[in-house]
Amino acid sequence: MGTISGISGSVMAECLLREIPAFSLLGATRTQNPDPRAASAVIGVLNELYGLSINTDRLKEQAERIEFELQRLAEDVQTTEQKGEVKKEFPMYG
């Protein structure tokens, strides 16, 4: 559980202030970045609730690409750390 921030939180707060009945479906994410897998999960719930058939294959493909790239970056960092290499991309800090 956590707080609802950003535009989602603003819309919900405004509904509360104006006494407008509202609910919000939020996808669980690990970062504040857009998350296609979370979007796919929310659309899946909407599909079930309202009998829709919105295809989420492209979102799932995007999520897989992002996850692959993040894994690759993590492995690159780990390899660099194991070799003891220090990159001086920000020389002003050390």
- The pLDDT of residue 31: 80
Evaluate whether residue 29 is within a structural domain: yes
Average pLDDT, the chain: 88
In whole angstroms, give the CA distance from residue 52 to residue 78. 44
Q: According to the model, what pLDDT value does residue 34 have? A: 84
**pTM of model > 0.75:** no
Q: List the domain range (segments joined by +) for residue 43.
A: 7-83
Q: Which tens digit of pLDDT belongs to each residue from 52-73?
A: 999 999 999 999 999 999 899 9
Instruction: Inform me whether the pLDDT recorded for 15 exceeds 90.
Output: yes
Q: Is residue 93 part of a domain?
A: no
Q: Is 55 exposed, middle or buried (0-12, 13-18, 19+ CB in 10 A)?
A: exposed
Is 39 contained in some domain?
yes
pLDDT at residue 60, as a whole number? 97
Asked whether residue 88 is domain-assigned, the answer is no
User: Per-residue pLDDT tens for 20-40?
Assistant: 999 888 888 888 788 999 999
Evaluated on CA atoms 26, 15, 13, 32, the torsion sign reads positive
Total number of domains in the chain: 1
pLDDT of residue 94: 56
- On whether residue 13 sits in a domain, the answer given is yes
pLDDT at 8: 87
90 found inside a domain? no
